Every structure is written in C-alpha cells, then in structure tokens.
Amino acid sequence: MELSFRSHFLLSALFWCLVHSSAFGLEKPYIVYLGSHAHGPEPTAADIESATNSHYDLLGSYLGSNEKAQEAIFYSYTHHINGFAAILEEDQAAEIAKHPDVLSVFLSKGRKLQTTRSWHFLGLERNGVIHQSSILRKARFGEDTIIGNLDTGVWPESKSFSDEGMGPIPGKWRGICQRGIKDDFSCNRKLIGARYFNKGYAAYAGRLNYTFYTARDHKGHGSHTLSTAGGSFVPGANVFGYGNGTAKGGSPRARVVAYKVCWPPIHQKKCFDADILLGFDAAISDGVDVLSVSLVGDPEEFFMDSIAIGSFHAARNGIVVVSSAGNSGPQPGTVCNVAPWMITVAASTIDREFTTYVALGDKQRLKGSSLSANGLPSNKLYPLISGADAKITNVSATKALRCLAGTLDHKKVKGKILACLREYGTVDEGHQAALAGAVGMVLANDEASGNDIFVAQAYVLPAAHISFLDGKVLFTYINSTKFPVAHITRVKTMLNTTPAPIMASFSSRGPNTVEPAILKPDITAPGVNIIAANTLAVGPTGEEFDKRRTPFKAASGTSMSCPHVSGIVGLLKTLYPGWSPAAIQSAIMTTASTRDNKVEPVHDSSLVKATPFSYGAGHIQPSRAMDPGLVYDLTVNDYLDFLCARGYDESQLRSFTNEIHACPKHFNVADMNYPSITVPNLNGTVVVTRRVRNVGTPGTYYVRIKAPAGVVVSVQPQSLVFERFDEEKEFKVVLKPKVAGKPVDYVFGRLIWSDGVHYVRSPLVVKHR
C-alpha cells in the first residue's frame, strides 16, 4: 500500500511539473507581503471579505482583471498578516514588488524539518520526584497555556495527547479542529485544535489526493515535537525497552494545537513558505500563547523570510515564538531563524547514553551507541568483514566500504558482522547490511564525522556506531588479521554520564549572517536521543523499509531542542501572563549556564571549549528562569527602531504595523536592548546602551566583567539600585581594543549583574571590523 501510494504521488507530481513547465514557463508560487491589516485583531466577516477583495484588486491591476487574480491567488492572509500567495511569472512578481503598498515579494520556497530523562537533566525533577520548589509545580505544570506547533501534524491517538484529568477548554481558545477527508481525526480537551495547510505544497507537487487533507501526522516529527513541548504524563515510555520512564512535555498540563504545514519531501523540501505563513496567521487568530517552530530555511533578510514575518506578527500579539537553530553545524555562520523577536535554540546532549561495545578477537573493546531492538543471536564471536572486502565485482572498494545499495556480495556477508564507513549518518547502512544477510553491523565515523557518536539510531539489526579513532582500530584489526572476529554487546541505558551537556556537532553555529550584531543561537537545550511520542504510520526510523511500530521514538536535532524551550516558555507564561515575549526570552537567556555537570566549561563534540556561537547564552536552567531578578525587555517599537537601523524607511514600517513610527535619528543596532551584547565592528571605542527592569525584590546589583581577550571593557554605572518592583535602569558598556585593528577574530566574554542572589548574565561577543 505504501509503495503504490508513493508511486502514484511521484507520477502525479512529475506529470504536473511537465505540464506547467511547458505551458506556463516561469510560473512559480510567490508571496506578496503587505504588512499588517487596518481592521484590528478581531476582524469581522466583512473585514475579511474586504481584505480578500483588496488582494484581488491589487493583483488584478497587474493581470488585467480580478477574475485572473482570483485564479492566481491560492491564499489570502486576512487576519493579522496582510498579503497573499499566488502563481505568478517572474516579471509579474518583479513589477508587483515596485508597488508602493508592497513590502516584499518572494518565492514560496521549501524548508526542512529539523522525555523520559531530559526534564530530569534540566532539574525539573529528581529521580522521578517533582519537588515543591520545581518550576513545574510553581507554574501548575503549564496549566491552560496554549502551545501551537507548526510541523507535520499530530497522531491524536497517542497517549501523550490524552485529556484524562483535563478541565474545560480555556475560553480564550478561538480555533477549530479541522477534520480530514476519509480520516477519523478528532481533538479533545488536551489536543484542542488542529489545522492543515497544503496549497503552498500543491503549487509544487500538483494535484493532491485525499491523504493530504488531514492534520494527521504520517511522518512522526510533529507528534514528537508537540509532545515534547506539552505532552501529558505517560508512565512506562521507552524505545524497545531502553530509556524507560515517564514521558511528558515541558508544560504537561498545557493545551496543545497542531498546524500541519509539512508534507512528503520534494527535492528534500517539506514545508513551504506560503503554508507556513498561513499557519502563523491562523495560530495568532486562534489564541495560542506559545508557538513552537522546528523548521529552518536559508537565512534571509527579514521581510523575505516567512518565519521572521510570521514570528514578528506573533510577538506583536504577545505570542512567544521558539525556533530551531538548524542542523548544519559545526560549520560557522550556519545558524538559521535569526530575527531578534524569536528565541533560537541550539542542541546539546543530556546525561544519558545508549551504549554498546564491540569486542574484537584481540580483546580490544570499542565503545559505540545504538538503539538496536535485538542483540546478536548468541553470546559468541562472529566472523567480521569490512564492506570493502565484501564488494561485488565491478564495484569500487570505496563505495562498498560505505555499504551503499547494490555494492555488497550476499555470499561474502551472510552470517557475519559487517563493518561499514559512515556515509550520511542515516540508518540505511544497517538496512543494506541486513539485506545482505549480516547478523550485525559496526558503523564507523569517517574523518569528517570525527568522534561524535552521541546520536543513537534504531537500526534494524544488532549494530554499533563507533568513533573515527575507534574505526581506525577496527579496520586495522580487520586488515591485519587472517580470520577477524567480533561480538556486539546488547545495548544498555547509561545514566548520569559525564560530561553533559556537550554541544551536538550537527547544531548550527553563529555568527548571524543576516545581522551580525545580534547573537544567534540564543540558548541551547536537550536535542540528542530525546524520547517522545511517535506516529504509528511509520517505524521508529521513519524509513519505508522499517515495518516496526512504536508509540515512542528517540530523535535528535534542533527540532527536538526547540520544543524543550517551548515547554519551558509555557511554564513561564502560566507564571507570568503579563510578561512580554522579550522578557521571557531574557529570563531564559540571562539565567543559562555555560558549565557542564562536572562544573567545567561546556565543550563541543570535538572536546574543544564551546563558545556563544554554539550555545548562545548557555544551557537552559528552567527553575532559575522563573526568578531572573532583572530582565532586558523590548517592545514592538524597539524592534521597529532595529529595522530603521537596518535601512527600512518609515513608509515601509507604516505598512508593516499599520501604525506611524518615527525612526530615531541616531540608533545603532548594537543598542537594541537584547540580552546578549555583540559588537562585530570594534573600530576604536564603542559605547553600547542597555536597560534592565527589576522583576524581583528591591536591592542593589553590582557588575562583574570577564572581558574578551584583547578588549578593554568598562560599565557605567558599576552598580544599579532598585527601590521597587518593575523599576527600570539604564547602563552603558564601553568597549575598546587594547591594540588598534585587533581582535581580528571573534573573542568572547561575559557581563554579570548580581545582588548576591540573582546572577544576570550576558555574553559579550566582539570582533574588529
């Protein structure tokens, strides 16, 4: 059934592409962004109709008639975001972009998707016990906060979305539960809403069949992320018996909503801008408090980025948007979702590993990671062969060593443990090994992958993933031994491992390539081997060949770290409903830690000391975030001043917000009241201004500075006296190089305000022009 559906879908997509390429030439889906609506936050049916007609009028003036405009437009954004998505030719899009009311026109491009232990590691509980001092209890487990999720939908039957013990749906909820076609999808008092948006996807894929008209999750990604943010308590959650414990979200008593904007991949792209933007517009109208967005695309200028646009409108309406940093690390400058009005999350490990060992015939033992369901059939040494030695005729040894499809001789492999060199970090090598008749597999990292073996995969046969250095040991043994043998031990769940956290190698790094004066990512959170809810439509690997079905799965990525922060934001929203998104972001960032569980600096997977370009302000500490002492707050006007400094004019900003905003004559991007301080162009003396607001008790805060290497830093004043709650104070940070023209590379430091109880930390990131 799955194969025939996939074949039908690919043939339909191919037919549509051929027809459109020949008949329409350069026609593509574009988003025409017009800013905000004049009708206010609660539009009437007449307001929505008027907005839609205005879109027809504008496009019709270019296409020749409103009828042609109606045929071209497949989405009108009519609630909070003003604009439309339409099929246009390139020259038409270029002309429309010149219209004075149009802020931007950009292609609806595709984007990528990016438990039982992680909340313990974050200090919300200890050995399964949630203490009275935990933010979980103080915030009533996120009670009645509404968390939305832009992703692949949801598996509503999962126990993580059970409404047992939940009260009536909050009156602030204004959304719907969109039923699928030929699908018994339903919501409840936990999963209070669901919608799907597919027209942006259909603009590339062509006509869709009924399976695309549902919010049901057929991939598993959306169920996993949504349950991590706000899933209910589920005792006995595990993957093949590993990592057993109680699964729950960061806000287990929150209400959750699924917005399905991601579909089967087209050229590796699954989520398209037109659908994403409508998802944002719907979520704002529906009344969510938190929006979790585990999606990334290439960094773009803010008005050309659907996630940046959507998250601005959300923040303007008091919604905290949390996003993934991306999985393109460890190369610098790869971080995505870089707008200052969203929280951008990196990924790091927790103190749990799924460990197996490879015992070689010469008594050497190599440590590996795995989530293989089964062990080897007997406790003995098995013949060991490398992929290169198991190649079929006329295939290169290099390809066979990677255990690629069609390279292995079944007769040589059958009954043996197969040693492969990692290709893409997928589970396909294990599938190929099993097809070739191997009893087990050892997958060694190549040099580029190094020694990072933290991500454990649910291989379809007994397997171990080992480091590059241990891989050299393995292949040296095979190549120097006449009859090499080995054994792979059963996987064990190892707890309280050290050091942790370690920055995941895949986690995207700064600097911010769109605006270097804003540090991104903002924070790091658990994102490796996270156990959470799964769909029953696919197996734990997500691959077609995997016929196993598990209610929970382990997954890794910034997609997993993002909803951890979303869940914590839900707790803070419950505790402090009047706090702005920026205040919540500040509380999370300024209370973060840059030390691991050995009280040493956090390191990268290469064992090099990590920097703020890896972890932002540091590793999230939820219970400290509920009492930050001081916050760096921001308003919509501050964000508009930021855009002014980036060259946006007052006319553009008026369209953006539907309000008049006077750009300040002198405003530096570095002066935006962000919780981190970044100066990417230290050319002489630079003075940076910040404001902090007291959200604790009255008291005096004193400054401490760890200056970046080669930089002199001073702060005026050196103490701040707060006589009352909510009082705000300003200070200036003066930075100058010790030697002119230096530092030539980025250097890092720290600024801390403390009253002896609270420690309000800000990273300092500095580079010469």
Active site residue 232: no
> Tokens 């992320």 correspond to what residue?
225
Bridge-partner residues for 523, per DSSP?
345
User: What b-and-e string marks burial along 179-218, b requiring 16 or more CB atoms within 10 Å of the CB?
Assistant: ebeeeebebeebbbbbbbbbbbbbbbbbebeebbbbbbbb
- Say if residue 264 is exposed, middle or buried (CB neighbours under 10 Å; 0-12, 13-18, 19+): middle
Angle at 695 between CA 693 and CA 697, to 5 degrees: 115
Under a CB-based contact definition with an 8 Å cutoff, are residues 328 and 614 in contact?
A: no
Both tokens of residue 77? 């954004």
Local structure of 523: helix, strand or coil = strand
CA-nearest of 499, 564, 122, 125 to 346 is 564
Q: What is the DSSP letter of 388?
A: T
Integer Cα distance of 180 and 189 in angstroms? 19
Three-class SS of 134-160: CHHHHCHHHCCCEEEEEECCECCCCHH
For residue 391, the surrounding DSSP H or E stretch is none
Q: What is the DSSP string of 405-456?
A: TT-B-HHHHTTSEEEEE-SSSSSHHHHHHHHTT-SEEEEE--TTTTT-----
CA-nearest of 577, 557, 624, 653 to 759 is 624
Q: What are the residues whose beta carbons fall under 8 Å from the beta carbon of 61, sequence distance 6 or more? A: none
Integer Cα distance of 711 and 739 in angstroms? 8
Active site residue 294: no
Local structure of 603: helix, strand or coil = strand
Both tokens of residue 751? 């600024």
Integer Cα distance of 224 and 231 in angstroms? 9
Under a CB-based contact definition with an 8 Å cutoff, are residues 711 and 734 in contact?
A: no
CA distances from 660 to 78, 80, 103, 379, 637 (A): 21, 17, 15, 75, 10
- Spot the catalytic one: 37, 39, 55, 221: 221
Bridge-partner residues for 711, per DSSP?
737
Residue 280 is which amino acid?
Answer: F
Active site residue 65: no
- Spot the catalytic one: 158, 162, 449, 559: 559
- Spot the catalytic one: 79, 104, 120, 151: 151
Under a CB-based contact definition with an 8 Å cutoff, are residues 597 and 549 in contact?
A: no
Query: Within 13 Å, how many C-alpha atoms sit on residue 536's CB side?
Result: 6
Integer Cα distance of 115 and 553 in angstroms? 10
Q: What is the DSSP string of 287-337?
A: T-SEEEE-EE-----GGG-HHHHHHHHHHHTT-EEEEE--S-TTSTT----
Three-class SS of 50-107: HHHHHHHHHHHHHHCCHHHHHHHEEEEECCCEEEEEEEECHHHHHHHCCCCCCCEEEE
Both tokens of residue 534? 């799964």
Judging by DSSP bridges, how do beta strands 502-503 and 603-604 pair with one another? parallel
Bridge-partner residues for 604, per DSSP?
503
Q: How many CB atoms sit inside 10 A of residue 11's CB?
A: 11
Integer Cα distance of 503 and 609 in angstroms? 10
Query: Within 13 Å, how many C-alpha atoms sit on residue 301's CB side?
Result: 10
Q: What is the largest CA-CA distance in the chain?
A: 82
Q: Indicate which residues carry an active-site annotation.
A: 151, 221, 559
